[in-house]
Amino acid sequence: MLYYLFTYLDKHFDIPGAGMFNFISFRAGMAILFSLLISLFIGKKIIRFLQRKQIGETVRDLGLEGQMSKQGTPTMGGIIILSSIVIPTLLFAKLHNIYIILLLITTIWLGFMGFVDDYIKVFKHDKKGLHGKAKIIGQVILGLIVGLTIYKSEDIVIRERVKKEIVLQAAPGEVSSSYESKSIRLSEDVKSFKTTIPFVKNNEFNYEWLLFFLNKSLRSEWVWLVFVIAVIFIVTAVSNGANMTDGLDGLAAGTSAIIGTTLGIFAYVSGNIIFADYLNIMYIPYSGEMVVFAAAFIGATVGFIWYNSYPAQVFMGDTGSLALGGIIAVFAILVRKEILLPILCGIFFVENLSVIIQVYWFKRTKRKYGEGRRVFKMAPIHHHFQKLGYPEPKIVTRFWIVAIMLAVLTIITLKIR
């Protein structure tokens, strides 16, 4: 909103400093500052409100040291994160930008789903919360919205060098009346289902390749369906991965902040034609505006850690964790970096994988031996380390260090080919 106001003031009244709002870097800086301030000042009031309403966490006794001391800690703190993302974005981003619209829809959609889940747990005293099928349906619908918008919107394009044939007419006065054709390569904005893939020379993957068994015309006609299915899978997987990671004080918020910073870098270089050309990566027109959203995302998650660091004064609950994972997934898809998610979101991936392995092995050994056996002492894997006797702050800090290493590895894949 402020972008439009100050653009108008700069254009009609030439107010000094109003032109700063034309720069993404300035608006991103303001967004991260405002999101930090909102999470710090509004966060305190929200925590007090949650305490007065006795909206606290009900913790099952899992035999973990210090766990029962967390019982009664306010939950639904994801409201702090959502507010700290949405308000600065509305203030400083270009709200007509399709990328910003999709990210805001994602934030509100999954935030609402998580809120309903937490509400059922706290007020209906149902520990299971929102039914698993309802969560999946909600995530699938969001995936459909995002995937079909990318497919249909004329504003979501990439810039490619397209080979074109031009006809050169004989110069006046020349005897020859023949025409000569010449091939040239021109930059053109095109609809495309290409994405970035690491460690290969051309650094791009086309979803059409998955339809190798069809002829070229059918591949072009049906590639959108493959892409939409991929979007649904990615949104669901990453959203649930963040939800699994939210089990220790500061773990999900800190990991998300690191991932968000990396995605913000990708948005900046992908939306800047000079950097995109220098790095030889895909240039995505108008995607640079997502840097403002990324800045708000980083400020919100870092600000939340102020209250969520050990010992936590508030938990984000599903209100925050589902939204964080969904935002990361959709952001990565929009900057065409979704294939890098297993590396960038390695913490989420391992947390999810540990649960899948644990459940699979327990069921298989129960059928075979009559009693279930476990690979880990407890899943998700962060609880395994708790069972081994590691203090909670040490586990969280080491997971953050691993997340930073994975983020750096993800960034350098842009040049490792």
- For 16, the 3-state DSSP assignment is coil
In this prediction, residue 130 carries a pLDDT of 87
In this prediction, residue 57 carries a pLDDT of 64
Q: Any idea how long the chain is?
A: 417
In this prediction, residue 172 carries a pLDDT of 58
Give the DSSP H/E element, type plus range, for residue 196: strand 194-196
Candidates 228, 251, 250, 249; CA nearest to 241 is: 251
In this prediction, residue 381 carries a pLDDT of 94
Give, for all 417 residues of the chain, the pLDDT tens digit: 888 888 888 788 888 877 888 899 999 999 999 999 999 999 889 998 888 877 766 655 455 655 656 777 888 899 999 999 999 999 999 999 999 999 999 999 999 999 999 999 888 877 788 888 999 999 999 999 999 999 999 999 998 765 555 555 555 555 555 556 565 556 788 888 999 888 877 788 899 999 988 888 898 889 999 999 999 999 999 999 999 999 899 999 999 999 999 999 999 999 999 998 888 888 999 999 999 999 999 999 999 999 999 999 999 999 999 999 999 999 999 999 999 999 999 999 999 999 999 999 999 999 888 888 999 999 899 999 999 999 999 999 999 999 999 999 999 987 776
Which residues contact residue 137 at a Cβ distance below 8 angstroms, ignoring those fewer than 6 apart?
none
Amino acid letter, residue 231 = V
* Dihedral class, residue 124 (left if φ above 0, else alpha if ψ from -120 to 50, else beta): alpha
Yes or no: say if 60 and 299 are a contact pair by the CB < 8 Å rule.
Answer: no
Q: Compute the distance between CA of residue 170 and CA of residue 212 in angstroms, rounded to an integer.
A: 43
* Cα–Cα separations (whole angstroms), residue 179 to 122, 183, 186, 359: 78, 14, 21, 71
In this prediction, residue 61 carries a pLDDT of 46
What's the token pair of residue 199?
């460690």
Residue 311: asked if its preceding bond is cis (omega within 30°), the reply is yes
What's the token pair of residue 58?
């009900």
Of the CA atoms within 13 Å of residue 250, those in its CB half-sphere come to 20
**8-state DSSP, 312:** P
Tell the burial category of 27 from Cβ atoms under 10 Å away from its Cβ (0-12, 13-18, 19+).
Answer: buried
What's the token pair of residue 179?
């025409």
With a threshold of 0.85, does the pTM exceed it?
yes
Strand 158-169 vs strand 194-196: parallel, antiparallel, or unpaired? unpaired
What's the token pair of residue 369?
């031996």
Yes or no: say if 283 and 269 are a contact pair by the CB < 8 Å rule.
Answer: no
In this prediction, residue 354 carries a pLDDT of 94
Number of other CB atoms surrounding residue 376 within 10 Å: 17
